[in-house]
Amino acid sequence: MAAKLQFRTDAAGVGVATLWDALTKDKMELVRKVAPDLLTESEFLEGDGIALGAVFKVRFGAVEFDEKEHLLSFEAVEGGFLSRGFTYYVVSFKLDEVGQGNTVLTTTMTYDLDKELGGAEAFEEFRKVVLHYVDSVVSYLQKATKRSMAGKRLLV
């Protein structure tokens, strides 16, 4: 039976549309900017790069994509943490607008560990990687929003 871990990230000052774009259509470019240590190599192979069925060489693909509800899930297909103690994992992001220009990002990690491989260490590393990615994206967008707002004030 799959286990779950869920955490929430307050993306104050980042609108839901901006964060949605960062996690969908801009995800590969943005991860290279904000957390280059998380991705050593990636290559877009097929699909539109956003919705279900998009294939990247990093070997994870969207298994759920609901633009209206701002819900996105990725499942590992091959390699990475699957070779380090996980038998299955899906990472889901759910965005909820909480006031104008503010978003709460709920991240859910659903997973199974191989008991024989003792996946506790792999789980902790995986949890840190997901948190690092989420925190890096939110921080980058918050800084970009502040710069954008400062620039608008200077021009007025």
* CATH number assigned to the domain comprising residue 30: 3.30.530.20
What does the pLDDT read at residue 104? Answer: 94
Q: Looking at residues 79-96, what average pLDDT do you find? A: 83
Torsion, CA 77, CA 82, CA 83, CA 87, rounded to 10: -110
- Please name the residue ranges forming H helices in the chain: 16-23, 27-34, 120-155
Above 60 in pLDDT, residue 75? yes
Higher pLDDT, 46 or 109: 109
Structure tokens at 104: 């709460």
| Overall domain count for the chain | 1
Q: Which residue from 141, 136, 138, 153 is spatially nearest to 104, judged by alpha carbons?
A: 138
Q: Looking at residues 88-105, what average pLDDT do you find? A: 90
Q: Looking at residues 140-145, what average pLDDT do you find? A: 88
Above 50 in pLDDT, residue 112? yes
Above 50 in pLDDT, residue 15? yes
pLDDT-derived band of residue 76, with 50, 70 and 90 as boundaries? Answer: confident
Q: Looking at residues 69-73, what average pLDDT do you find? A: 90
What does the pLDDT read at residue 52? Answer: 47
What does the pLDDT read at residue 69? Answer: 93
What does the pLDDT read at residue 68? Answer: 92
The domain in which residue 127 lies consists of 3-155
